[in-house]
Amino acid sequence: MLMNPGLNSIRSRKQYGFSMLEVLITVLILSFGLLGMASMVTTGMKSNNTSHYRSVATQQSQDIADRMRANLTGVRNGSYNNLATNIPTSSDCAAAACDATQMAVYDHAQWNTANSRVLPGGLGTVAGNLAIGFLITVMWTEKEMGNTSDPRCPVGTPVGTRCFLTQFSP
């Protein structure tokens, strides 16, 4: 039995464009899916970066709190009441004996040096006293913030700076 060859050739010509259209739509859907995945990866990386800095800020606030607990005489005499963002010059208390006040200056210098090393634009302050407690503030520059201000930061802090605050009482 011989089939009509003309009918098969007509049917096959009509399906060429339909297959091409299916492939183009599939490529379009796949490209949107890949763009969505790329966006998710980028967002995840930003969140991971922010999370890392907050973890480091937590460790840095615990560091100065531990230093203050170790030097209760310095806390009692007010040596930790107003630690600014600067890095003061101090004696090397690791190599030689220091009194409580010198130890507070050494702790301040070591702490803010570490802040600047482990956080981008890292700074720290301690405010308060033994009677009311201390407020430890760790600040760093965070690109993901853009030109916004962190409402937890002290007045006058530059935009794009993130602040982590810890209330502490030794």
Tokens at residue 63, please? 């560091």
Q: How far apart are CA 40 and CA 97, in angstroms?
A: 54
The residue extents of the domains of the chain are 52-168
| pTM greater than 0.75 (yes/no) | no
- Spatial neighbors of 114 by CB under 8 A, at least 6 apart, are 60, 63
Residue indicated by tokens 């030109």: 147
Tokens at residue 42, please? 């980028």
Tokens at residue 134, please? 């201390």
Query: Half-sphere exposure of 81 toward its Cβ, with a 13 Å CA cutoff?
Result: 10
pLDDT tens readout for residues 10-39:
555 555 556 777 888 888 899 988 888 888
Of all residues in the chain, the percent with pLDDT exceeding 90 is 47
